[in-house]
Amino acid sequence: MTAQSISIIGAGNLAWHLAPALDNMGYIVKEVYSRNPLHAKALTARLYQAEVKATLDFSTSSSHIFIIAVSDDAIRSIAQEIILPNDAILAHTSGSQPLSLLGYAATPHIGVIYPLQTFSKQKKVDFSTIPFFIESDTPEAEKYLTRMASSISNEVHRIGSTERKALHVAAVFASNFTNHMLSISKELLEENSMNFDLLKPLITETLNKALTIGPEEAQTGPAIRGDIEILDKHHEFLQNDESVATLYKLISQHIIDRYDKG
């Protein structure tokens, strides 16, 4: 068993970037398992010497660290099915799932290695700027996972399950929900024969301002001003899409309640 050898379970967006990044830093990725062998094969083509693993039986593997990089709802079943060599370290990469899910696996050395970033296969990633958060059940797991994360990232933190869940929920608001709002904005413009590019300077300035002075100080708009007339006109404009109109009303009311100086 080689401490620098890794096996990856999963071949999705995160694994697509994480496996080559570790490979390039001297961590030999030996095996890739995916429920879809074609996805595993595509990922191994990006690596130096990895092979496609057909099953979750890693009992004869020479790897020391096994990283589960799959959707949250698949972690439990993998932890139940995976067969590991002695003294293996098993970690998942989820921001929301508890460390205890890995308790089904036959190893005491379990952990979480959570990169706080959104990943897409077509978008290049610079791991050096991405914060990693480590949780573990044993000193050995913490040591190896921290060392591994530190090889590709300049920011590595120890974290507990409750803090990690709070971090993940905050990330959903900051990233997923924000992107969904941008998607709605794009649709509204396209429905009115306008280009999404018109909003790009505003989006850039909004994010820059929030990061510079803080989002609570950067908030502007009719809701924080309490401009009910404008809010009503906007709500009326959106009546053709009841779900978006409701969303507009709920968010506006939340801003009004948050900043009410009354």
d(CA 138, CA 133): 15
Tell which CATH architecture fits domain 164-259.
Answer: Orthogonal Bundle (1.10)
Query: What stretch(es) of the chain map to CATH 3.40.50.720?
Result: 5-159
Average pLDDT of each block of 10 consecutive residues along the chain (262 residues)?
82 97 95 97 96 97 97 96 96 95 94 96 95 96 97 96 94 97 98 97 97 96 95 96 97 94 60
d(CA 141, CA 124): 29
- Look at residue 65 in the predicted model and tell me its pLDDT: 97
Per-residue tokens: 119? 């990943």
Query: What stretch(es) of the chain map to CATH 1.10.1040.20?
Result: 164-259
- Look at residue 260 in the predicted model and tell me its pLDDT: 83
- Look at residue 3 in the predicted model and tell me its pLDDT: 54
The CATH topology of domain 5-159 is Rossmann fold (3.40.50)
Per-residue tokens: 2? 């080689």
Is the pTM higher than 0.85? yes
- Look at residue 4 in the predicted model and tell me its pLDDT: 86
* Token pair 């191994």 in the structure block, residue: 44
Helix (H, G, I), strand (E, B) or coil at 185: helix
